[in-house]
Amino acid sequence: MSNAYCIQINELGGPEVLTKTDMEPRKPGPGEALVRQSAIGLNFIDTYFRTGLYRAKLPYRPGQEGAGVVEAVGEGVENIKVGDRVAYLGQGTYATHYTGPAARMLKLPDGISEDDAAAVLLKGLTAWMLLFEVYHPKPGETALVWAPVGGVGSMVVPWATSMGVRVIAVTSSEEKADLARKAGASDVVFSNEDVASKVRDLTGGKGVDVSYDSVGKTSAKASLDSLKPRGWYITYGNASGAVEPLSPTELNRRGSLNMTRPGLFHFVADAEGLRRGAAALFGGLRTGTLKAQIGQTFSLTDVADAHRALESGKTTGSTLLRP
């Protein structure tokens, strides 16, 4: 197939190791579908595989989500057909085409574009996991949300607010603070401040019920210090590096805290989990509770620049790669 290509990693390193490589799209086997991709979502996890923080067998094709139009289906596929618009989670979506299990592809409802789906699927499902599967905050509770205008944070803030949860956002600039407030955050703390002290002041000394923390190493202590007794520390990202090991007795000393490091794919491993998450996400998009905040778009051939922007903290909302 002419002009088909993918982005491949042959060695670990910086954004410069992302290499454009010609490819021949794989024909779908039984139960599979071939999609010509319209949009690909960029996620922080892509950088973890590129640097070696998460192990991958080389050569490796990054990418965890995408959306496009079905070009061919294999034997036995009944849930989608040629011409359908679909979105999916799948390994190796940095490419013009993607072939994968049709049962894991979600037919897009009317009113949800391929761009929106690629921008929010992994991030929105992660937000669903955090808010509904890991710790479901109750109306009147308070949540600390780090990186509130990033890909996942920009989903967590309005979703939590719609549930009656007070959100205190932690971000790095006044521009991002304004965006967090517009998304529903009641208060904003800057990451270069004494976050825990500010949070204690904002909560009358009580602390928050839960911290949704995607930053990792540099934010861990502040998250823990911000929690009320029996609060939840949910660390789900490593933007600043992996969190240092923590003794269970330390959790007890701080007030019988709960700590977890969830991964989305454990929550959507079966069709039922994926269906429930997608139904909640698409429902939130249709009602306007959630919006695809596409902050920037890059050509797939400029993916190295996209990685640099993401890692430098210069992006807001979701980032799309366009083949």
> In this predicted model, what pLDDT tens digit does every residue of 44-81 receive, in sequence order?
999 999 999 999 999 999 999 999 999 999 999 999 99
Q: Is the dihedral of CA 115, 185, 215, 159 positive or negative?
A: negative
- Report the candidate in 124, 169, 146 with the shortest Cα–Cα distance to residue 292: 124
Query: Is the pLDDT assigned to residue 1 strictly greater than 60?
Result: no
Asked if residues 73 and 33 have their Cβ atoms less than 8 Å apart, the reply is yes
Query: Is the pLDDT assigned to residue 296 strictly greater than 60?
Result: yes
Please provide the average confidence, as pLDDT, over all residues in the chain. Answer: 96
Buried b (16+ CB within 10 A) or exposed e, 201-214: ebbeeebbbbbbbb
- Which pLDDT band holds residue 293 (cuts at 50, 70, 90)? confident
Q: 5-122+293-322 in CATH: which number?
A: 3.90.180.10
Asked if residues 260 and 134 have their Cβ atoms less than 8 Å apart, the reply is yes
Q: What is the pLDDT of residue 239?
A: 87
- Which pLDDT band holds residue 2 (cuts at 50, 70, 90)? low
Query: Is the pLDDT assigned to residue 271 strictly greater than 90?
Result: no
The DSSP call for residue 265 is G
Q: What is the pLDDT of residue 294?
A: 92
**What tens digit of pLDDT does each residue of 192-237 get?**
999 999 999 999 999 999 999 999 999 999 999 999 999 999 999 9
* Whole-number Å distance between alpha carbons of 131 and 267: 12
Asked if residues 140 and 167 have their Cβ atoms less than 8 Å apart, the reply is no
**What tens digit of pLDDT does each residue of 87-119 get?**
999 999 999 999 999 999 999 999 899 999 999
**What tens digit of pLDDT does each residue of 142-199 get?**
999 999 998 899 999 999 999 999 999 999 999 999 999 999 999 999 999 999 999 9
Percent over 70 (pLDDT), the chain: 99
* Whole-number Å distance between alpha carbons of 158 and 194: 25
Evaluate whether the domain defined by 139-261 bears CATH number 3.40.50.10860.
Answer: no
| Beta strand 166-171 pairing with 142-146 | parallel
For the chain, where do the domains classified as CATH 3.40.50.720 start and end? Answer: 139-261
* Cα distances (angstroms) measured from residue 73 to each of 23, 35, 81: 19, 9, 7
First to last CA, the chain: 15
For the chain, where do the domains classified as CATH 3.90.180.10 start and end? Answer: 5-122+293-322
